[in-house]
Chain A
Amino acid sequence: MKFCNTKLFCRLAAASAFALATATAAAQPIKIGWLSSLTGPLSSAAIAENEGVKIAVDEINASGGILGRKIELLTRDTAGDPTKAVNFAQQLAFSDKVQFVIGPVNSGEGLAATPVLARAGIPNIVIGAIDELTNYEKYPRAFRVINTNFQWIDTANKYVLDTLKKKKIAVIADTSGYGTSSAKTAIELLEKAGVKPVYSVLIDPNKTDLTDELNKAKAAGAEVIMPWSAATGLLGRLLNARGDMGWNVPVVGHPALMAAQIRKLLNKPQYWDQTYAAGYVSTTYDANGKLPARTQALVDKVRPKLGGGGEIDVLFWWVAMGYDTVKVIEHAIKKAGSTDPAKIQKALEDTQGLEGVYATYTWGPKIRNGFPDSNMAMNAANTFKDGSFNRAPQ
């Protein structure tokens, strides 16, 4: 009898201890670090992504969190400074002991911070496009949600070569990390397709007048300009120079060409004509002027917060991507059943066809770039409406 009682007692004790433990664990929030350059260069992208992230976090917390645990978002403004990015990555990893890190946004910061997070073994959702940021061997827990730079460049190149059928190409990029690497990749891909650019140049993103460079491109016989820069200011000035010169060639390149800020920078609204950029199926209006259902749903949720109820004047894919990064984390935790980093890694490696707003993601044991080629599309910049676009003419 005593034995029975003890056993019962032990069971009860164990059960209550377990309940207590899970209850305390349940009370423990899931900490997600968010390295964002909210001030400084590329801040417009970061701010929009931030909205997406916040909406996702609020949504998840409102419905009880993940596995009963709420999300605690730790935002760190890196201001585009790689040293700050490294310091904050260290702080998030070792001081705040977060379970996940989203970002950084800029390539320069990403190149510096990703290795730090990798060494700390923290799962990192990568939102920088530069190809070197993912590597299943060097950074096994870094999973990319955004498309790769290669995908952008390839889509644009194919549009120019196959649809527009132009062969004399001018490649213009900025001197940042992103610009330098993109220009290199773009030229390599073009040459692989048998086309050598007639003119290529790297420009300081703060250069105010691009007439010289365009004149040189024109003199070299260019029929199309392909800019690879995320600096909206520079792209705006590029379009102005083209327009002021009266040079009627298409401009095809980086999605920042379609950003709403550009519209404000243009000397004349017509300067946005004949401007096409790599975009996404998820943010393209179909022939009936409708967005994919999931995108529309998010647009409706976001509109009161971003547009003040009115127009949304940022690239919507930024918001959608921010939203998806948190949803990916949610999916991974649910699939792994815990926040244990090794289990998270396995869960994401085994993820196929995860439907997000921005894209449908598939990773693998050796694959860290989750964005599908099928989601790429070419958009026409001057069809900007609420952050999404129509398809570029086929």
Chain B
Amino acid sequence: MTNTSLLKSRSVWLLIGAILTVTLPLWAGDQYRLHLAALIAVYWVLIAGLNLVVGYTGMLSIGHVGLLSIGAYAFSILAGKLGMDPYAAMVIAGLICGLCGLALGLPSLRLPGFYFAMATIAFSMIVNEIILAQVDLTGGGIGLPGPMFPVPFESPTGFYYLAVIVAAVVTYLTWNIARRMWGRGLIAIRDNPVTAQAVGVPMFQAKLIVFVFSGITAGVAGALFASLQTYITPDTFVFELSMFFFVCIIIGGRGSIIGPFIGTVVLTWLPESVASLAKLGNFFYGLLLLIVVLAVPEGIGRMIKMIYERFRPRKVESFAIRPDRSKLKDALTQFRPSHSSAETEQSRSLHAASVSKSFGGIKAVDDVSLVLKPGQVHGLIGPNGSGKTTMLNLLSGYYQADAGSINLQGQDLLAQTVQERAKTGIARTFQKPRLLPDLTVLENVMVGSWLHAKSGFVTTALGMPSVAVEEKAFREQAIELLKGVGLEAVMHRRANLLDHAQQRFLEIARGLALRPRFILLDEPAGGLTAVEIENLGEVIRGISDAGIGVLLVEHHTDFVFRVCDYVTALNVGRMIQSGSPEQVRHDPEVIRVYLGA
């Protein structure tokens, strides 16, 4: 290996970092710097957990100082006043904070962004009030001494290593979450909640789990903090500290672990070394936050990745999408569970009967019935405002029908949420492609496999071997699907760098990763050239070859009549004709309202 390639290797940098961290007591200089380093490690324990909440899931939680203080006080009371073993006390403090995170999250996580942020701020103020009021328990304004850990962690150097060990463990846990399916799911919630729903991510539960996790890390950080500072008072836990945690993550950049870590190091160390900054401390954090939001909203993490990519230039060539119909069919049949022969085509079909939906006084869909058969391409056409997209939304669960029924395999779909319908096997694409811009094409497709990931949060965090096995399978499937739709050449490109047509095909691949029974395509030909439409036709045919039913809502009627086995035409919410393409094309009513002469 040459010198330059050694420098580019990420593992080399990590190794250097690890060596520096472990040998820090030797080169830090004095105990003060050691104290600062330990403080950084303790802050990082909290920030690493909070990073999943803020950076990955996009929940703007600004009240984590409340959880830190609960952890600190719980630890000090348990290990100090009640004489419990400090390690046990630290664990219990973490669990208590996890419970508090649950108590805060349950009512607040459903609230929209600003409301949620205010709720977290209010939470930290309430915690402060309670601490001041419960004088007998917390010492009120006087505070409590922070207990020390036993040998060998009671000396400054020893404590530093304890903090580093805990920080390393927490980093490992969050790193596991971030790089696997869970991380992608969280990013989906952040960047495109509609997509997250479509692939089956249980949004509220996922947010809650991550929030509780961040509570646990905050609690553990609180325990370590109390021990490091040797004394805690309510004055220590001010709103500005919450801001500080928050700013570390934002300037570090979302979707990154190394970014917020560097942010933490820099923002902790900077006010200490530049004494005049100490006074301006919080003003400076605000200014920094404003600059980052206006100029570099993606933070340092993104800047690092950009610099990294500059050393590894990828030749960005333009290319044409070349789908492979048979490859697609193989990819799909390989991963789809086969059905038992006892099931008839009837039972495997999706039946929508007399479905109606009104918005205010307008009946968008009026008594429409259709049947989607497995392996059949069913077109849905009509002029603007005829209710096509509404119908698609009704089938996929984004709208609730007012009347009628939708059944699949004996299940009443009307009772099911979007995620549940995804589980039943309904995938969809959107009129405007909804991708996750920060992830690569490959990762975007892998998100589609969410429902098939059996690894829970804890299993993923712990890095159990089963997770890697699953991941490998999803990756392989995604690659096959990309080969099938013809995007294999760009699979490592960031999704926001794709052109319009590529985005559409990517979305279809993602929908297929769900291993659906039916895929609903919402005007996929919009904005495509003639060649690209041909390719789209190939893809659709490949999907139906594999036995997956397709609902094609489209305006390109030539395309519809060419590629579909069955067509339904709507007008003003009602069905005006349905049958074979030939039938519908020549129907006088259809010609009159839509096709023209």
Q: Per a CB cutoff under 8 Å, which of A84, A87, A115 touches B35?
A: A87
Given contact pairs A81-B236, A83-B229, A177-B233, A111 touches B143 in the complex (Cβ within 8 A) = yes
A109-B235, A180-B142 known; 17 new pairs, CB 8 Å cut-off, are: A81-B235, A82-B231, A82-B233, A82-B235, A82-B236, A87-B32, A90-B36, A91-B32, A94-B35, A112-B236, A120-B31, A132-B142, A175-B140, A175-B141, A177-B142, A178-B141, A179-B141
Which residues 184-235 of A sit at the B interface, judged by CB distance below 8 A? Answer: 202
Does A39 make an interface contact (CB < 8 A)?
yes
- Bound complex: CA A80 to CA B238 (Å): 11
List B contacts of A94 (CB < 8 A): 30-33, 35
Which residues 308-340 of B sit at the A interface, judged by CB distance below 8 A? Answer: none
Contact A77–B30 (Cβ < 8 Å) = no
Given contact pairs A82-B231, A112-B233, A95 touches B30 in the complex (Cβ within 8 A) = yes
- Bound complex: CA A280 to CA B362 (Å): 84
Task: Determine the interface band of chain B, counting residues with CB < 8 A from chain A.
Answer: 20 to 34
A residues near B (Cβ < 8 Å) are: 39, 76-77, 79-84, 86-87, 90-91, 93-95, 106-109, 111-112, 115-116, 120, 130, 132, 174-181, 202
Contact B32–A108 (Cβ < 8 Å) = no
Contact A91–B229 (Cβ < 8 Å) = no
Q: Per a CB cutoff under 8 Å, which of B29, B31, B231, B278 touches A77?
A: B278
- Bound complex: CA A202 to CA B141 (Å): 10
Contact A79–B279 (Cβ < 8 Å) = yes
Does B132 make an interface contact (CB < 8 A)?
yes
Given contact pairs A91-B32, A95-B30, A108-B141, A115 touches B230 in the complex (Cβ within 8 A) = yes
Does B272 make an interface contact (CB < 8 A)?
yes
Closest partner residue, chain B, to A116 (CB atom): B230
* Cross-chain pairs A/B with CB under 8 angstroms, 24 sampled: A79-B278, A80-B235, A82-B232, A83-B236, A86-B231, A87-B35, A87-B39, A87-B272, A91-B32, A93-B32, A94-B31, A94-B33, A95-B29, A95-B33, A107-B142, A112-B143, A112-B230, A116-B230, A130-B142, A132-B142, A175-B141, A177-B143, A177-B235, A180-B139
Given contact pairs A39-B279, A82-B233, A112-B229, A176 touches B32 in the complex (Cβ within 8 A) = no
Does B135 make an interface contact (CB < 8 A)?
yes
Q: Per a CB cutoff under 8 Å, which of B31, B33, B135, B231 touches A180?
A: B135
Given contact pairs A108-B141, A177-B142, A177-B235, A87 touches B36 in the complex (Cβ within 8 A) = yes
Given contact pairs A90-B31, A177-B143, A180-B140, A108 touches B132 in the complex (Cβ within 8 A) = no
- Bound complex: CA A361 to CA B278 (Å): 35
- Bound complex: CA A87 to CA B279 (Å): 14
Contact B272–A91 (Cβ < 8 Å) = yes
Give the most central of A77, A94, A107, A174: most B CB within 10 Å: A94
Which residues 10-34 of B sit at the A interface, judged by CB distance below 8 A? Answer: 29-33
Contact B231–A112 (Cβ < 8 Å) = yes
- Bound complex: CA A175 to CA B142 (Å): 9
- Bound complex: CA A79 to CA B280 (Å): 10
Contact A180–B141 (Cβ < 8 Å) = yes
B residues near A (Cβ < 8 Å) are: 29-33, 35-36, 39, 132, 135, 139-143, 145, 229-233, 235-236, 238, 272, 275, 278-279, 281
- Bound complex: CA A39 to CA B30 (Å): 28
List A contacts of B238 (CB < 8 A): 81
Contact B231–A111 (Cβ < 8 Å) = yes
List B contacts of A178 (CB < 8 A): 141
- Bound complex: CA A83 to CA B35 (Å): 12
Q: Per a CB cutoff under 8 Å, which of A83, A116, A176 touches B141?
A: A176
Min distance, Cβ A382 to any Cβ of chain B, angstroms: 30
Contact B230–A90 (Cβ < 8 Å) = no
- Bound complex: CA A109 to CA B141 (Å): 12
- Bound complex: CA A202 to CA B234 (Å): 15
Contact A115–B231 (Cβ < 8 Å) = yes
Closest partner residue, chain A, to B33 (CB atom): A95
- Bound complex: CA A132 to CA B139 (Å): 13
List A contacts of B233 (CB < 8 A): 82, 108, 111-112, 177
- Bound complex: CA A94 to CA B36 (Å): 12
Min distance, Cβ B129 to any Cβ of chain A, angstroms: 9
Contact B142–A82 (Cβ < 8 Å) = no
- Bound complex: CA A111 to CA B35 (Å): 18
Give the most central of A87, A116, A174: most B CB within 10 Å: A87
Closest partner residue, chain B, to A106 (CB atom): B235
Closest partner residue, chain A, to B272 (CB atom): A87
Closest partner residue, chain B, to A86 (CB atom): B229
Give the most central of B139, B233, B238: most A CB within 10 Å: B233
Contact A181–B141 (Cβ < 8 Å) = yes
List B contacts of A174 (CB < 8 A): 141
Contact B236–A177 (Cβ < 8 Å) = no
Closest partner residue, chain B, to A96 (CB atom): B32
- Bound complex: CA A84 to CA B33 (Å): 14
Contact A95–B32 (Cβ < 8 Å) = yes
Q: Which 3 A-B pairs have the closest CB atoms?
A: A180-B141, A94-B31, A94-B30
Q: Per a CB cutoff under 8 Å, which of B30, B32, B141 touches A177?
A: B141
Min distance, Cβ A172 to any Cβ of chain B, angstroms: 14
Min distance, Cβ A132 to any Cβ of chain B, angstroms: 8
Min distance, Cβ A301 to any Cβ of chain B, angstroms: 29
List B contacts of A179 (CB < 8 A): 141
Q: Per a CB cutoff under 8 Å, which of B31, B39, B236 touches A93?
A: B31
Closest partner residue, chain B, to A91 (CB atom): B32
List B contacts of A39 (CB < 8 A): 279
List B contacts of A86 (CB < 8 A): 35, 229-231
Min distance, Cβ B305 to any Cβ of chain A, angstroms: 33
- Bound complex: CA A175 to CA B233 (Å): 12
Min distance, Cβ A155 to any Cβ of chain B, angstroms: 22
- Bound complex: CA A115 to CA B232 (Å): 12
Give the most central of B140, B230, B232, B235: most A CB within 10 Å: B235
Closest partner residue, chain A, to B34 (CB atom): A94
List B contacts of A93 (CB < 8 A): 31-32
List A contacts of B32 (CB < 8 A): 87, 90-91, 93-95
- Bound complex: CA A83 to CA B244 (Å): 13
- Bound complex: CA A91 to CA B230 (Å): 16
List A contacts of B231 (CB < 8 A): 82, 86, 111-112, 115
Contact B141–A82 (Cβ < 8 Å) = no
Contact A84–B278 (Cβ < 8 Å) = yes
Contact B235–A77 (Cβ < 8 Å) = no
